[in-house]
Structure 1
Amino acid sequence: MSLRIAVVDRERCQPKKCSQECLKYCPKVRTGDETIVIEEKAIISEELCVGCGICVKKCPFNAITIVGLPEQLEGQEVHRYGKNGFVLYNLPIPRKGHVVGLLGPNGTGKSTAVKILSGQLKPNLGKEDASWDEILDRFQGTELFDYMKAIADGNIRVSVKPQYIEAIPKVYRGKVRELLERVDERNALDEYVEKLNLRNAINRDIKDLSGGELQRVAILACLLRDADFYFLDEITSYLDIYQRIEAAKVIREVAERSPILIVEHDLAILDMLADYVHISYGEPAVYGVITNAKGVRVGINQYLRGYLAEENIRIREKEIEFEIFQPTESEIEDVLVEYPAFRKTFEGFILEADSGDIKRGEVIGVLGPNATGKSTFVKVLAGVLEDDEKKVDLDIKVSYKPQYVKADISMPVGMFLRSINPMVESSYYKTEFIKPLQLEKLMEKNLDELSGGELQRVAILACLLRDADLYLLDEPSAHLDVEQRTEVARIIKRFAMNNSKSVLVVDHDIYLVDMLSDRVMVFEGEPGKRGRARRPMNLRDGMNLFLKNLDITFRRDEETKRPRVNKPGSRLDREQKAAGEYYYYVRE
């Protein structure tokens, strides 16, 4: 038995253009006289709908979805966005003295849950409206009752860090210090500026900050408020691994006095930071279900395997797998291009790069702190910048995806991609790229209407569609969820191998780099002043060097073989450091 729901995507539904082609074929709906148009959008009678799927196939805009849900979810609706709109089941539970993580695909209700728990959105229990008495009655006898009552009575102070920090300069004007002093209710500004290494940014204008600086300012602005509960939505975008760990330490300090809920897709940081994790699953933009709390290790492992044991539900067809051992040397020998040692100088900063080579069909991961020249190195290879002595001339075709993706034109996604490669709608590209990147339903949307994650996926495909020998992708994981990052890693790996193309990927997600890289480049130096780009090296040596500079060690989870951060000073941490094995630890 199942509960059937019909969802109509309000953004895509255009009844006037299609004359309701999607609905007029279904006699069950028509005879019930329940198929109507409200505000020029189609409405389906869920009571009369039998789930035949005709309307789904007939809709020319891919705006309708019909889903069967487990019967036990009936009556558990927390919020629904109007008739036939997205519906969320259950909520995560903030816990005093702990950091609670919320993990799941984009579009399954994580941000909606945060809005409800932060008091920005009043839950309607799946109806047109619900009174606070009804809401409190729903949560009577649960761990959330006291929390929801505090929201209803206005007796709770909440501080929220938004997901998309790019909008901050549009809302706030002026110096960073002025903004932070305005929200510093705990008199901890100078202490946290030091811990998050914002000394060089504190006296600058908000609009002049880099993405990493803006992210740390957003985290700091959230934590400086004297709040009862803190909600942080995606803390790692644009931060390097060093900054992610320092931010995690500060968040842990605040959690000792006030509960914190985080939404995060970097599993290494989530594993290190959270005490408990709730998993969200469902059909993106259709419905979302949030599970009960799980231990962080158990929750992440179940999520990677795609099977939730307590709920007896499979949320993904395939497991996300990690290899235990990587090859000690790249097995690829055909060199595409060699580049010379070079130097690039800016005012106050210098990048020195060792000579190296790039092989055909390989993926090179690039790791290192922010502001040590990774993006500069990529731009020199791409021909966007010239080195000081103009020595770098690769004489090959290069396709480049920049770190910060912007929609500078208003054009449908499909038209934009066809302008790059007319074959994008062929069966090959649909199977290998469009479907895995979940772009089918975005083809008619304009670029300037896309979210950060949607725009990122379009930019990745646009880069790979160009005819080139070398593909350079700068931070492709930004704003992507775990499934999307896994698909991006798989797509890039297959693309390089099947087409004998060379790919260089700059990213801070250890899991992503681990999954896709044949070799790695490690950047070192003093952020903002000098950087050194080492030549590409095998994955094990490169990871060991990178993590040694970071002074942390990783182990492999016994069940999933995923990388996990060792607790600093633990027996395994000391043992691995003594053996010089920071990432792939192999006992003799």
Structure 2
Amino acid sequence: MRIAVIDRDTCKPTDCSSSPNKPCIKYCPRVRTGDETIVLGEDGFPHLNPLLCSGCGICVKKCPFHCYTIVNVPEKLDSEVTHKYAEDSFTLFRMLLPSKDRVLGVIGQNGIGKSTAMNILSGHQKMNLGLLEDKTPDWDQIIDHFKGSILQDYLKSLKEKTLKIVHKPQEITTIPKFVKGKVKDLLKKIDKTKNMDYIISELSLETILDRDLSVLSGGELQRVAIAAALLREGDCYLIDEPSSYLDVSQRLKMAKLIRNLPGDEKRVVVIEHDLAILDYLSDQICLLYGQPSAYGIISNVQGVRVGINIYLNGYIKDENMRFREEAIKFHQRPAISTGFESSKVLFEFKDMKKKLGSFNLDIYGGEIHAGEVIGILGPNGIGKTTFINLIAGKIKPDNEVKNLKDLKISLKSQYIEYEPDKPVYEILQKIKGSAYFDSPYKKRILKGFRLEELEARSISELSGGELQRVAIADCLTNEADIYLIDEPSAFLDVEMRLNMAMIIRRSIESIKKAAFVVEHDIITQDFICDSLIVFKGEPGIKGITTPPQDLRSGMNEFLRLMNITFRRDLSTGRPRVNKFNSNLDKYQRKIGEYYYIPTKDED
């Protein structure tokens, strides 16, 4: 089955050359021979006749706005369409199947249909089974379509409005626009479980109970949103990307709470891009694959270990479906040292001190080398962003540090700020026109972050992940000595996180500059950095840094502070959180290896 997808936000038929000379139609070889492969619909948009289209791709390449996509979908899925937004628009095949007393983890690229599936389960969106306009099915037809599956009873309850749905949305920064007041008042108002004190304690919310929602940070808002969801009484909990803005310790606490949520026939569905956390909290896994913004296919339910490994390998054996050409590989030992000790020292920063209100930060100095990526790990509220701002010169240390003034800095902040109506096209033109970087460097960034598909949009039209990609690319294409990148994986899916990590590494290596990267996803940090600075102390009161140290030592020190160890999956080598006090957990603590398990010749 061949389908066409038109991005109606990008397609501008009125700005394109007039009918019948629109580039996508004019250059189609079928149209030139008299076959109406592509025709203009009454809505003014070009539409595909899939019976005639050969899939040559010429019309796609000729479209000046990059809005047109033609993809092949297995014909056997023709009867499994769950939802279609419009003719020649995104199509979702199959549906998530939440089971009672289970946590269903969901993994897949952005733009592949995860949020669509969650909106259907929440009742915010009614599926149409691919039937549009006057053919849209009623509830009885929809329920009959899923007859015999566990979704049938779920949909009956949804129709009758007897199903209590609790939905924790992905975008939590907009919460203060709709909910006003103090944290404690909000939680008291919605608490139906009588577990408020326990939830507050587990999520470390005690210090912000008297604060107004409007002044909370991203991490604080996320924890409040999770607490609000867990304190509601529901039959099905839909939790979208709960680890965003949280540090490692907070992610584990959050995962434990969600892991213990099923019971009394409750269903839980969680979308999560942090593989270690997804593995830790799930009972089952569903994969979504396909082509972003074109179509998404929901896999059959898999076991947790098998499901995540299938996703990394890119091949579903029971469906005989390969959805990625190459498997995602993990290294089980730190990358071999590139000899930074003998390379050029870009700068040496001295010990620094900074007092902000009642918070004190002590920074131990060190040398930064050409081509080096320094990872920064530590809990929230411990001074990581303050350190970034000190290096950037946005704030000054309390003691005199002269050599910081001579550095050219490029900064990607945690909270990205552009003018909402700024065209992405302007940022792309700046990247393409930069004389400082060579063509392969710019091409790697533009292609790796898939930026050309965004060039017809404005900043306000981008999703969180799309905005993140644009901001990182913008940062990496400024002429600078030091690149400061704060939480680059936020809102990115698994594949783009690891792709982003490799782009940062290769970019910094190729231009012989240096980068500091703040990141809470341990697996992503492991991909990015050559060395680590670990922050410790007491969040909100005092922060102390280590000097830059090698990756192995830094990971061991950080995870010792977090009181967790990781084992390795035997098939893929991916890190997995050990159960506390298990035999492997005790062994790794004993030998002091919290992340990298030694091989036999190292043991």
| Band the TM-score falls in, shorter-chain normalisation | over 0.9
What code does the residue aligned with 1:508 have? H
Say whether the 8 Å CA contact 1:403–1:475 is kept in structure 2.
yes
Deviates further, 481-490 or 391-400: 391-400
Q: Which residue does the alignment assign to 2:163?
A: 156
Deviation at 1:248, TM superposition (A): 0.7
**Correspondence list, 1:270-419, <5 A:** 270-327=278-335, 331-333=339-341, 334=343, 335-391=345-401, 393-394=403-404, 395-419=406-430
User: Aligned partners of 1:305 and 1:50: how far apart in 2?
Assistant: 30
**Correspondence list, 1:463-482, <5 A:** 463-482=475-494
Aligned to 1:472, the other structure's residue is in SS state strand
Q: Which residue does the alignment assign to 1:84?
A: 88
Q: Which residue does the alignment assign to 1:194?
A: 201
Say whether the 8 Å CA contact 2:567–2:595 is kept in structure 1.
yes
Q: Which residue does the alignment assign to 2:470?
A: 458
Match of 1:178 among 173, 177, 185: 185
User: Aligned partners of 1:137 and 1:100: how far apart in 2?
Assistant: 24
User: Aligned partners of 1:311 and 1:382: how far apart in 2?
Assistant: 51
Deviates further, 45-54 or 478-487: 45-54
Say whether the 8 Å CA contact 1:341–1:352 is kept in structure 2.
yes
User: Aligned partners of 2:56 and 2:389: how far apart in 1?
Assistant: 52
User: Aligned partners of 2:430 and 2:203: how far apart in 1?
Assistant: 43
Say whether the 8 Å CA contact 2:143–2:155 is kept in structure 1.
yes
Say whether the 8 Å CA contact 1:421–1:465 is kept in structure 2.
no
Say whether the 8 Å CA contact 1:161–1:231 is kept in structure 2.
yes
Aligned to 1:384, the other structure's residue is in SS state coil
| CA gap 1:391/1:426 in 2 versus in 1, 3 angstroms | closer
User: Aligned partners of 1:429 and 1:43: how far apart in 2?
Assistant: 37
User: Aligned partners of 2:42 and 2:468: how far apart in 1?
Assistant: 33
User: Aligned partners of 1:116 and 1:96: how far apart in 2?
Assistant: 18
Say whether the 8 Å CA contact 1:339–1:392 is kept in structure 2.
no
Deviation at 1:255, TM superposition (A): 2.0
User: Aligned partners of 1:476 and 1:89: how far apart in 2?
Assistant: 31
Deviation at 1:338, TM superposition (A): 0.7
Q: Which residue does the alignment assign to 2:11?
A: 13
Q: Which residue does the alignment assign to 1:532?
A: 544
Match of 1:568 among 580, 593, 598: 580
User: Aligned partners of 2:521 and 2:59: how far apart in 1?
Assistant: 41
User: Aligned partners of 1:72 and 1:421: how far apart in 2?
Assistant: 43
User: Aligned partners of 2:139 and 2:258: how far apart in 1?
Assistant: 32
Say whether the 8 Å CA contact 2:441–2:507 is kept in structure 1.
no
* Alignment coverage as a number of residue pairs: 586
What code does the residue aligned with 1:232 have? I
| CA gap 1:329/1:27 in 2 versus in 1, 3 angstroms | closer
Deviation at 1:278, TM superposition (A): 0.5
**Correspondence list, 1:143-292, <5 A:** 143-257=150-264, 258-292=266-300
Deviation at 1:39, TM superposition (A): 4.2
Say whether the 8 Å CA contact 2:4–2:47 is kept in structure 1.
no
Say whether the 8 Å CA contact 1:92–1:113 is kept in structure 2.
yes
Q: Which residue does the alignment assign to 2:24?
A: 22
User: Aligned partners of 1:327 and 1:476: how far apart in 2?
Assistant: 21
**Correspondence list, 1:103-118, <5 A:** 103-118=107-122
Say whether the 8 Å CA contact 2:99–2:150 is kept in structure 1.
no
Match of 1:554 among 539, 549, 566: 566
Deviation at 1:250, TM superposition (A): 1.0
| CA gap 1:22/1:487 in 2 versus in 1, 3 angstroms | same
User: Aligned partners of 1:389 and 1:423: how far apart in 2?
Assistant: 37
Say whether the 8 Å CA contact 2:92–2:296 is kept in structure 1.
yes
Say whether the 8 Å CA contact 1:380–1:387 is kept in structure 2.
yes
Match of 2:434 among 423, 427, 436: 423
After superposition, what is the alpha-carbon deviation per residue over 1:128-154, rounded to whole angstroms, capped at 9, x for unaligned? 111112111110111211112211222
After superposition, what is the alpha-carbon deviation per residue over 1:282-330, rounded to whole angstroms, capped at 9, x for unaligned? 1100000010111111111111122222222221122211112215766
User: Aligned partners of 2:6 and 2:82: how far apart in 1?
Assistant: 19
What code does the residue aligned with 2:258 have? I
After superposition, what is the alpha-carbon deviation per residue over 1:91-117, rounded to whole angstroms, capped at 9, x for unaligned? 121122221111000000000000111
**Correspondence list, 1:485-496, <5 A:** 485-496=497-508
User: Aligned partners of 1:574 and 1:479: how far apart in 2?
Assistant: 34
User: Aligned partners of 1:56 and 1:192: how far apart in 2?
Assistant: 51
User: Aligned partners of 1:412 and 1:551: how far apart in 2?
Assistant: 45
User: Aligned partners of 1:386 and 1:78: how far apart in 2?
Assistant: 56
What code does the residue aligned with 2:304 have? V
User: Aligned partners of 2:37 and 2:66: how far apart in 1?
Assistant: 23
Return 5+ residue gaps in structure 2 as ranges: none
Say whether the 8 Å CA contact 1:412–1:445 is kept in structure 2.
yes
Deviation at 1:409, TM superposition (A): 4.5
User: Aligned partners of 1:47 and 1:130: how far apart in 2?
Assistant: 25
Say whether the 8 Å CA contact 1:521–1:534 is kept in structure 2.
yes
Say whether the 8 Å CA contact 1:307–1:313 is kept in structure 2.
yes
Deviates further, 413-422 or 195-204: 413-422
What code does the residue aligned with 1:54 have? I
What code does the residue aligned with 1:105 have? Q
User: Aligned partners of 1:72 and 1:430: how far apart in 2?
Assistant: 41
Root-mean-square deviation (CA), in Å? Answer: 1.9
User: Aligned partners of 1:449 and 1:213: how far apart in 2?
Assistant: 26
After superposition, what is the alpha-carbon deviation per residue over 1:328-381, rounded to whole angstroms, capped at 9, x for unaligned? 766222221111111100111010011111111011111010000001001101
What code does the residue aligned with 1:304 have? L
Say whether the 8 Å CA contact 1:328–1:538 is kept in structure 2.
no
Aligned to 1:101, the other structure's residue is in SS state strand
| CA gap 1:393/1:34 in 2 versus in 1, 3 angstroms | closer
Deviation at 1:240, TM superposition (A): 0.1
User: Aligned partners of 2:442 and 2:13: how far apart in 1?
Assistant: 27
Return 5+ residue gaps in structure 1 as ranges: none
Deviation at 1:7, TM superposition (A): 0.9
Aligned to 1:23, the other structure's residue is in SS state helix
